[in-house]
Structure 1
Amino acid sequence: MAPHDAVHGWDEDTTAEAYDAFTREFPMYSATSRELARRAHLADSRLVLDLCGGAGATAKPILELAPATARVISLDNAAAMQRVGRRTLDDPRLTWVTAAAEDLDRHAPAADVDAVVCNSAIWKTDIPRVFTAVHTVLRPGGRFVFNIGGGFAGVRHDDEKSAHTGPSLNRLIHDVAARDYGYTPPPTRPAAPKLPLEAVSAHLSAAGLVLVDAEVIAQHGSVAEKRAWLSIPVFARPDGDFTHAQRMDILAKAYALTTPDAPTVTSWLTVVAQRPK
C-alpha cells in the first residue's frame, strides 16, 4: 500500500498553501528541481513538460534555464496546487494543465517535446503508462529526467550514511505518539525497495526509452527544514487515525527533543533517459 501522501490530500487548499510556503522558505525542492532541469539539457529547447508540476517549484528553474522562446507545460492532477502556482508564478511561456500524469500524451504534441522533467513524484504514478506516454511525446533525442527518493529506490548516499548521530525526527515522532497517544509503530524490519534502478531500467526499456545516466545525489538540510516539511498536512506523521492537530502536537514535542540546526541528509536516485534518435 502506498503512503497516505501518495494520492490523498494534494487537491486541498491547506496542503497547497503550506507546500508552496515551504518551497519558498527552504531549498529542498528548488535545489532538486534545478538539478533535474540542468540534466535535461534545456539550452536549445522549444517545449518542455513539467510532469506532476504541483505549484511550480520545478517549472521555475526550467523557465530560467530554457531559452526565452521556449514554452513550458506544467501538468498536475491537483487543481489546488495549480491555483497557488498560477498566483505565484506568472509567466506567459508557462501553461498550466490539470490532468493525470498517465494522460500526459493527450496534452502535449507527439514527438515534439524536448524534455520531460519530474521532481519527487514519479513513484506515485502508473509507471508503465507514464513511461509509454513520455516516449510518445518526446522528440527523438529528447530527455526524460526524474528522481526517486532513496527509500523507494533502495539507495543511500555516503553523506547520508555518515550523518546519523542520534534518533531521527521521524523516530522521535513515533516515540512521542506511542507515549502520549498509545500509538503502535509499524515493524522496523527493512522493506524491499519499491522502485529500484533495475525496475526503472526495465520499465524504460519496455517503453522504448534508453537509460542514459543514474546517480545517487545527496540533499543537505536541517532538522528545522524537516519539521517544516512534516508540518505540511499531506506529509504529517504518523499514519493512522490522528487529527492534524494531534499530529502537530506530536511533531512539536518530538522537535523539542532535537537540535534544530543539526544537519540532515536525504538521498535521491536521479535518472536521465532518452528517446533514441
Structure 2
Amino acid sequence: MAPHDAVLGWNEDTTAEAYAAFTRDFPMYSATSRDLAQRARLTDSRLVLDLCGGAGTTAAAILELAPLQARVISLDNAAAMQRAGKRTMTDPRLTWITAPAEDLAAHVPSPADAVVCNSAIWKTDVPAVFAAVHQVLRSGGRFVFNIGGGFAGVSHPDETGRTGPSLNTLIRQIAARDYGYTPPRPGADTPPKLPLEAVTKHLSAAGMTVLETEIVAQHSTMAEKKAWLTIPVFARPDGGDFTHEQRMDILNKAYALTTPDTATTTSWLVVVAQRPREGR
C-alpha cells in the first residue's frame, strides 16, 4: 500500500497553502527543480511540460532556463495546489491545466520538447504515464524525472554516513511512547516500489531510451525537515488513527530532541530518458 500522501489530501487548501509556503521558505524543491530543468536541456525549447506540477515550483525553474519564446504547461490533478501557485506565478508563458498525469496527451496541443517531473512519478500509474509522455514528446525530446531514494531503493553515500537518529525515527519512538503506536514491520526482503530496473523496463515498453541515471544527495537541516513534516500529507507517523494535531504534537516532541541546524541528507534517483530520434 502506498503512503497516505500518495493519493489523498493534495486537493485540500490546507495542504496546498502549507506546501506553497514551504517551497517559498526552504530550498529543497527549488533546488531539485533546477537540477531537473538543467538536465532537460531547454536552450532551444518551445514547449515544456511540468508534469504533476503542483504549485509551480518546477515550472518556475523551467521558465528561468527556457528561452523567452517557450511556453510551459503545468499539469496537476489537484486544483487546490494550482490555485496556490497562481497567486504568485503570473508569467504569461505559463498555462495551468488540471488533469491526471495519465491523461496528459489529451491536454498537450503540440509536440513537447521536454517533460519534467519532480518527485511525483511514484504517485502515478507509471506505465500509462510513460506511454503518454512518449506520445507527447517530439523526436529527440527529453523526459527528466526523479524518484525518492526510499522508493527507488538507493542511497547516496552522504546519507548512509549519517550519525544519530533521523527525525522520522524519533517520531516513531515518541508515537510509541506517548500514543501506543506500533510501527509496521516490513519484511527484510521487501523490495523498493520503483527501482531503476522497473523504471528502465517501463521506459523501454513505452518506446523510450535511458540516457543517464544518477543518485544525487539533497542536503538540508532538521529545521527544514521539520517544516516539511508539518505539511498535512507528509505528517508522520504513517498509519494509526492519529489526528493532524496529534501528529504535530509527536513532531514537536521529536524535534525538541534534535538540533535545528543539524545537517540532514536525502537521496534521489534522477533519470534522463529520451524519445529516440526518427530514423534511429
- AA of the residue aligned to 2:132: A
- 2:248 aligns with 248
TM-score (norm 1): 0.98
**2:191 alignment counterpart:** 192
Query: SS of 2:258's equivalent?
Result: coil
Rounded to whole Å, the distance in 1 between the matches of 2:8 and 2:145 is 22
In structure 2, the partner of 1:103 is 103
* Letter paired with 2:206: A
1-structure distance, mates of 2:177, 2:132: 47
Runs of 4+ in 1 over 3 A off after TM superposition: none
- The offset of 1:181, in angstroms, is 0.7
Q: CA deviation at 1:7?
A: 0.4
Q: Distance in 1 between matches of 2:159 and 2:246?
A: 30
Tell me what 2:69 maps to.
69
User: What's the offset of the Cα at 1:109?
Assistant: 3.0
Distance in 1 (CA, whole Å) between partners of 2:270 and 2:258 is 30
Residue 78 of structure 1 is matched in structure 2 by: 78
Percent identical among aligned pairs is 76
For residue 57 of structure 2, give the secondary structure of its aligned residue in structure 1: coil
Q: Which runs of 5+ in 1 are unaligned?
A: none
The Cα shift of 1:12 comes to 0.3
Partner of 1:180: 178
User: Within the alignment, does 1:264 sit opposite 2:264 as a pair?
Assistant: yes
Helix, strand or coil at the partner of 2:192: coil
Secondary structure of residue in 1 paired with 2:270:
strand
Structure 2 Cα separation of the partners of residues 87 and 23 of structure 1: 14
Q: Find the counterpart in structure 1 of residue 167 from structure 2.
A: 169
Matches within 5 A, 1:4-153: 4-109=4-109, 112-153=111-152
User: Which string of whole-angstrom CA distances, capped at 9 and with x for unpartnered residues, describes residues 66-108 of structure 1?
Assistant: 0001000000000000001111111100000000000000001
Amino acid at match of 2:170: L
Q: How many matched pairs? A: 275
CA distance change for structure 1 residues 188 and 253 in 2, over 3 Å: closer, same or farther? farther
Question: Structure 1, residues 120-174: CA drift from partner, whole Å, max 9, x if none?
Answer: 0001100110000000000000000000000111110111111x21111101101
SS in structure 2 opposite 1:185?
A: coil
CA RMSD of aligned residues (A): 0.8
Query: In 1, distance between residues paired with 2:49 and 2:152?
Result: 23
- Offset at residue 188 of structure 1 (A): 5.5
Paired residue type of 1:156: S
